[in-house]
A = this chain, B = another copy of it.
Amino acid sequence: MKLRAKIIDLKVGKRMVLLHEKDALEIGVLAHDWVKISSAKYKTAAFVDTTQSYLEQGEIGIFKDLHDQLKAKDGGTVSVSLAQPPESIKFIHKQIEGESLTKDEYFSIIRDVVDHKLSEIQIAAFLLAGEFHGSTIDEIEYLTRAMIEAGKVIDFDRSCYDKHSIGGVPGNKVSLLIVPIVAAAGLLIPKTSSRAITSSSGTADTMEVLADVEFDIDELKSIALKASGAIVWGGKLGISPADDLLIRVEHPLNIDPVGQMLASILSKKLSVGADHVVIDIPIGAGAKVSTMEEARKLAESFVELSERFKMHLQCGITYGGQPVGHTVGPALEAREALLALQGKGPASLVEKATALAGILLEMGFKAHPDEGKILAKDILASGKALKKMREIIEIQGGNPKVQPQDISIGHETIALKAPCDGFVTNVDNAAITAIARAAGAPREKGAGIELLWKRGCKIKKNDVLLQIHAERNSKLNEAYTLALKMNPITIEGMLLRKIPKFT
């Protein structure tokens, strides 16, 4: 069918054309069907969406994404006909029915995800089928390989170390200690990290307080080879682009299928050439994993999968019941990390960072088994880690001489005080994150929370429990209102209940 092109100057992130409902019926397609389109010079294929109002009959709306391929003139003629949908839809359907998929089938699905040949509905079906039926270790391997293959990869031509946390615990700035400790020991650790999506600061957000984090693959390679380490944002590298597209669909469904999570993490690590990896699995209320049993099972899956790729991988199951260290929010965390590198860090941060760094040092034969943590602490105490961090900051375009007091924290500030004497019995991860976000974190770098007391501490009525920082007064008020409502810190006497109560 010949139609008149109407170019719609809007990028929709998919190959899509808009047809008048009557023309769509004539061609024999419904919304989400797949059509072939040709202009005078170019051919392509796209999804159909239909409208009754935006177009006249005889017109076809061409969104900018597709226009870039088709180069039709506004008002010019294009031919449209029914096309066979991408073959990968069959494989998704097979998976819905509970069948296992082959390696080729996973490759076909992931290629079509990256080429925008599958709609979000179809990607949702793919992820949900994984959630419902689970995935065999073979399938997770295929998915991992497919995700690596669909993106860019780096080859450092030497052994490469890395660390990943599955997340869920606020204030987890450990990478800012682990990378310089491991690099100072002479191991290569080009750490790619994420920005916060639902948390109050991702490692990339925190590092960005000290230096640039947006680099392409060649820049990362050059930085890491110079300093033996780097801390950059993974989003600009073009590694495992399928992962971002899958996560975009997982988000509104609020699901995180285990197979998909494993493939996502390992595909990113393998794409940057990491062959020695430590995975941080925090457990606790509000973390992704809440019991030791679950954590152990997940750790076993990580190990089993890593063996398929000849990757040396160990998992560290860590305490995730409250924030790591005493700060939450990019600038506050960057300052705390810098203090820790200067030997003035809180115990929980130093313990966790050196324990995980120690695992990597042992893997790299820099320390004997079970002595990695001691070496990590030595490197930290010697100032070598601080020196290395300053080197990395400089190469990544930051100020290598930065001091903790140079880091600007939001000046709008308010304290939350203890309503009574007692002991801190709970610090609520989810509430801390929500309050820090309300204050402006992670976008407003100076926003966040200082926790004055943590679990088990004895406190007196009117002691400051936490200090909220914001860059703007309106945000501060929002955060404070939320804090009063959410009650992020629980104070109780040692005697929790009297039974029976005498009234």
Asked if B96 and A253 make an inter-chain contact with CB atoms under 8 angstroms apart, the answer reads: yes
Tell me how far the C-beta of A5 lies from the nearest C-beta in chain B, rounded to whole angstroms. Answer: 15
Does A312 make an interface contact (CB < 8 A)? no
Assess A30 versus B122: contact at CB under 8 Å? Given A11-B54, A93-B254.
Answer: no
Asked if A253 and B31 make an inter-chain contact with CB atoms under 8 angstroms apart, the answer reads: no
Which B residues lie within 8 Å of A89 (CB)? 252, 254
User: Considering the chains assembled together, what is the distance between the CA atoms of A31 and B13 in angstroms?
Assistant: 11
Assess A33 versus B252: contact at CB under 8 Å? Given A11-B51, A26-B443.
Answer: yes
Which B residues lie within 8 Å of A494 (CB)? none
Asked if A248 and B31 make an inter-chain contact with CB atoms under 8 angstroms apart, the answer reads: yes
Does A125 make an interface contact (CB < 8 A)? yes
Assess A30 versus B121: contact at CB under 8 Å? Given A8-B10, A255-B96.
Answer: no
Closest to A52 in B: B11
Which B residues lie within 8 Å of A249 (CB)? 121
Of B25, B30, B32, which contacts A443 at CB under 8 A? B25
Give A22-45 interface residues, CB cut-off 8 Å to B.
Answer: 25-26, 28, 30-33
Number of copies: 2
Asked if A54 and B96 make an inter-chain contact with CB atoms under 8 angstroms apart, the answer reads: no
Of B52, B124, B255, which contacts A124 at CB under 8 A? B124
Tell me how far the C-beta of A397 lies from the nearest C-beta in chain B, rounded to whole angstroms. Answer: 20
Of B10, B33, B120, which contacts A121 at CB under 8 A? B120
Of B53, B120, B129, B132, which contacts A120 at CB under 8 A? B120
Of B11, B31, B128, which contacts A96 at CB under 8 A? B128
User: Considering the chains assembled together, what is the distance between the CA atoms of A52 and B12 in angstroms?
Assistant: 10
Does A425 make an interface contact (CB < 8 A)? no
Does A119 make an interface contact (CB < 8 A)? yes
Does A437 make an interface contact (CB < 8 A)? yes
Asked if A121 and B54 make an inter-chain contact with CB atoms under 8 angstroms apart, the answer reads: no
Asked if A253 and B122 make an inter-chain contact with CB atoms under 8 angstroms apart, the answer reads: yes
Asked if B10 and A54 make an inter-chain contact with CB atoms under 8 angstroms apart, the answer reads: yes
Sample of 14 more A-B contacts, CB < 8 Å, known A11-B54, A124-B128: A9-B54, A10-B10, A12-B49, A13-B51, A30-B197, A31-B248, A32-B248, A54-B64, A96-B253, A120-B121, A122-B252, A124-B124, A125-B253, A128-B128
A residues sitting closer than 8 Å to B (CB atoms) are 8-13, 18, 25-26, 28, 30-33, 49, 51-54, 61, 64, 89, 93, 96, 119-122, 124-125, 128-129, 131-133, 197, 248-249, 251-255, 437, 443
